[in-house]
A and B are shown apart, each in its own frame.
Chain A
Amino acid sequence: MSPDTALRGRPERRAYVNAAIVDPSQGLDGPGGLIVADGRIVAIGPKVTAATAGTSTPVTDCGGKLLFPGLIDMRVFTGEPGNEHRETLASASEAAAAGGVTTMIVMPNTDPVIDDAAIVDFILRRARDTAIVRVAPMAALTQGLGGELMTEIGTLQEAGAVALTDGRRAIANARIFRRVLAYAHDFGMLVVQHVEEPTLSSGVMNEGEQATRLGLPGIPAAAEVIMLERDIRLVELTGARYHAAQLSAAASLNVIRAAKARGLPVSCGVSVNHLVLNENDIGAYRTFFKLSPPLRSEADRVALVEGVADGTIDVIVSSHDPQNADTKRLPFSEAEFGAIGLETLFSAAFGITRSGNVPLTRIIEAMTARPARLLGLETGTLAAGAPADFVIADPDQTWKVEDSGLRSRSKNSPFEHHALEGRIVETVVAGESVYAYDRR
């Protein structure tokens, strides 16, 4: 990037030209440019070039690199409030910007829990004051994530919650989940479930040969499939919009396919970790690979990649979950679940366009247009009039993930020391550059 792109303040007007634009929301996939003004996109397409931008408009030449809508990460845990030593909204947003994520959907599993309009308001104000990307919270479905008492769903929605979830926890009680779905349906709110039957999920990794060898208690794939099948019956009963936060097992895909074929308002996500890694990466008890749901077999991973490719899986998330030494440098069974991932989200996902033959447009759609549509956001698109949230990425640049270079306050990256393809070189939020890759 030339130095003049290190912008300060909101630019009046700027053209980005000579880019390879990918915007699945408009079916764009080809050379072109865009013009931003007042934080919004005013023109986009092949006709936007340095010549057509007008002499008074400053121009950034993208050098043929990729330009696509800023990513929307539907599953981000931070430590704010409650565990700021692991991550704040500010530190998470720095990592997000470096990873091409312009909207973080933060989970309610904080201390205190985001189960009250005042906490939603706190998150939005803290984000406005400290974060460099957009932040929107999902609120808890049940008070204190206790799985029993419903939160004030209507009030939470008014306060700015974009969806409802108990985050890492599944609502196990079918009667309560049914009522929550029915009530949320009246407000049109998306209900996001961690699909794992708790009574089958006391283990710490995928059940199978690997767990048996390591002497670790396993979590069977059936724990996920059982919960998913039950939930879909309840969706049928209530008509609520339902989203399975993260799938890990091949068997779950057919359940989703069948539900979609029946026209149910069902969608699902997958973490990029589950598209790239499998249970063998745990090796000798590497706790950075201890995830919930667990990394499963290579056959499951391949099936999930296919699920992304054919659209069965709607959304790719980072499931960014900062943990540090106090929770990760422990014996495997005692360590916390979770891995950070905001900064590596795009690059890790980009890898499967090459290894898994998934079209880049599908990958980008799963991190832009689809989550935007599920959550009712106006971002996730480069259509004229939309907020100017976008990313420039170099598909030919390989970079090595080192924890010292990561911006997250916690360093529990499963991609540490990995070489990833595709690098974010600039991130723009509301027309303002919030990250520019420094080549030094």
Chain B
Amino acid sequence: MTPAKPRTDRILEGQHLLGIETLKLAEIEALLGLADRYVELNRQIDKKQSTLRGRTQINLFFEASTRTQASFELAGKRLGADVMNMSVSASSLSKGETVLDTAMTLNAMHPDILVVRHHASGAPDLLAQKVGCAVVNAGDGQHEHPTQALLDALTIRRRTGRIEGLTVAICGDVAHSRVARSNIILLNRMGARVRLVAPSSLLPACVDRLGADVFTSMAEGLAGVDVVMMLRLQLERMQGAFVPSTREYYRFFGLDQKKLSRAKPEALVMHPGPMNRGVEIDSDVADGIQSVIREQVEMGVAVRMAVLDALARNLPGGGNA
């Protein structure tokens, strides 16, 4: 055991990463800078680091997510942490155990980092108040998905060299999207101009006050933009009468070449995945030359490594680097 000593290379001010909302611009830029280094590392043959050696990371997923969980697992393992995945099914919650009960049980096992995905907005905030370790929000309800916004920013920045001054259109089911909320906040903070393009039934109240121009037509909303970010349309949205059918949705809001042609010729096409091809995005566009969707997945691992590294530096005992 090395004695606790204050680290001079802190990146994050807080103990947890619960959302973009609480991050300052300098913190975001430092995280992206660190993530850049991890991108290079991940492309080497020897990817193993000892930064988190001895640390225990628990991925606590109350909502199934193969991609995000895999990304966090790989990020933790590459940094040398012991990673445990816990999927809490709806059935064990229905036995009466609350999210706090589960978290307190895990807390007693002395994890260093708890990565939480939960279907209720604010669940990671609740956990962070009660556990001793660092909490990473891996997506909570319709609130935030901070690592997704960070990986999107990293993808854009590496492609275009900047974020400030860009116009980014976020299209689709904004009302139910934590990805949209985190991105609106982060892109604003970094000096981009954000547009939201969606039918009014999929726009939350007063969303313009979060810092976005709102459009209900793809042709207008995509005109001249630098980045087109598509959101996944949950197929159960038809039930709540948010939209009439996938067919009509695709017709008016699905991204195809024709709609994309309104954007700048070199505009990037992004999607947080998993995609509904033929609903919110056409396969030609998803796999086309403007698409950076697979790159987003690569950036995801690097960003999560940066987040885990940064949080470990703030843990008692600091990082091992």
The smallest beta-carbon distance between B257 and chain A, in angstroms, is 32
In the assembled complex, A214 has its CB within 8 A of some CB on chain B: yes
Q: Nearest residue in B to A220 (C-beta to C-beta)? A: B205
Contact with B205, one of A211, A284, A331 (Cβ below 8 angstroms): A211
Whether the Cβ atoms of B206 and A285 lie closer than 8 Å is no
In the assembled complex, B226 has its CB within 8 A of some CB on chain A: no
Whether the Cβ atoms of B205 and A332 lie closer than 8 Å is no
Q: Measured between alpha carbons, how far is A330 from B121 in the docked complex, in Å?
A: 11
Instruction: Write out the residue numbers on chain B whose beta carbons fall within 8 Å of the beta carbon of A209.
Output: 205-206, 209-210
The smallest beta-carbon distance between A291 and chain B, in angstroms, is 16
Q: Nearest residue in A to B93 (C-beta to C-beta)? A: A334
The smallest beta-carbon distance between A298 and chain B, in angstroms, is 14
Whether the Cβ atoms of A213 and B21 lie closer than 8 Å is yes
Whether the Cβ atoms of A214 and B206 lie closer than 8 Å is no
In the assembled complex, A218 has its CB within 8 A of some CB on chain B: yes
Interface 0/1 of A203-235, CB less than 8 Å to B: 000011101111111101000000000000000
In the assembled complex, A333 has its CB within 8 A of some CB on chain B: yes
| Chain B at the A interface: SS class | mixed
Interface 0/1 of A246-284, CB less than 8 Å to B: 000000000000000000000000000000000000001
Contact with B121, one of A207, A208, A215, A326 (Cβ below 8 angstroms): A215
Instruction: Write out the residue numbers on chain A whose beta carbons fall within 8 Å of the beta carbon of B100.
Output: 329-330
In the assembled complex, B70 has its CB within 8 A of some CB on chain A: no
Contact with B98, one of A207, A212, A214, A329 (Cβ below 8 angstroms): A329
Q: Measured between alpha carbons, how far is A413 from B141 in the docked complex, in Å?
A: 26
In the assembled complex, B80 has its CB within 8 A of some CB on chain A: no
Q: Nearest residue in A to B185 (C-beta to C-beta)? A: A213
Whether the Cβ atoms of B181 and A331 lie closer than 8 Å is no
The smallest beta-carbon distance between A280 and chain B, in angstroms, is 14
Instruction: Write out the residue numbers on chain B whose beta carbons fall within 8 Å of the beta carbon of A207.
Output: 205
Interface 0/1 of B246-264, CB less than 8 Å to A: 0000000000000000000
Q: Nearest residue in A to B145 (C-beta to C-beta)? A: A215
A285 with B126, Cβ < 8 A, contacts A329-B98, A330-B98 known: yes
A331 with B126, Cβ < 8 A, contacts A214-B121, A215-B141 known: yes
Q: Measured between alpha carbons, how far is A390 from B64 in the docked complex, in Å?
A: 59
Most buried by B among A213, A216, A329, A331: A331
In the assembled complex, B140 has its CB within 8 A of some CB on chain A: yes
Q: Measured between alpha carbons, how far is A418 from B178 in the docked complex, in Å?
A: 33
Contact with A208, one of B99, B126, B140, B205 (Cβ below 8 angstroms): B205
Contact with A214, one of B118, B126, B143, B207 (Cβ below 8 angstroms): B143
The smallest beta-carbon distance between B174 and chain A, in angstroms, is 9
Q: Nearest residue in B to A202 (C-beta to C-beta)? A: B240
Q: Measured between alpha carbons, how far is A207 from B207 in the docked complex, in Å?
A: 11
Whether the Cβ atoms of A215 and B205 lie closer than 8 Å is no
Whether the Cβ atoms of B210 and A331 lie closer than 8 Å is no
Q: Measured between alpha carbons, how far is A331 from B120 in the docked complex, in Å?
A: 6
Instruction: Write out the residue numbers on chain A whose beta carbons fall within 8 Å of the beta carbon of B125.
Output: 284-285
Q: Measured between alpha carbons, how far is A333 from B121 in the docked complex, in Å?
A: 7
Instruction: Write out the residue numbers on chain A whose beta carbons fall within 8 Å of the beta carbon of B270.
Output: none
Contact with B181, one of A215, A220, A285, A330 (Cβ below 8 angstroms): A215
Contact with A218, one of B21, B99, B118, B205 (Cβ below 8 angstroms): B205
The smallest beta-carbon distance between B62 and chain A, in angstroms, is 10
Instruction: Write out the residue numbers on chain B whose beta carbons fall within 8 Å of the beta carbon of A333.
Output: 120-122, 141
Whether the Cβ atoms of A330 and B210 lie closer than 8 Å is no
Contact with B210, one of A213, A217, A284, A334 (Cβ below 8 angstroms): A213
The smallest beta-carbon distance between B215 and chain A, in angstroms, is 17
In the assembled complex, B244 has its CB within 8 A of some CB on chain A: no
- 5 smallest beta-carbon distances between A and B, as pairs: A215-B143, A331-B120, A285-B122, A215-B142, A215-B121
User: Which residues of A are at the interface with B, using a C-beta cutoff of 8 A?
Assistant: 207-209, 211-218, 220, 284-285, 326, 329-334
Extra contacts, 13 of them, besides A215-B178, A331-B121 (Cβ < 8 A), are A209-B210, A212-B209, A214-B143, A215-B144, A215-B181, A216-B143, A284-B125, A285-B121, A285-B122, A285-B125, A329-B100, A333-B120, A334-B120
Q: Would you list 10 pairs from A and B whose C-beta atoms are within 8 A, ordered by A residue?
A: A208-B206, A209-B210, A212-B207, A215-B143, A215-B178, A216-B121, A216-B142, A329-B100, A331-B123, A334-B120
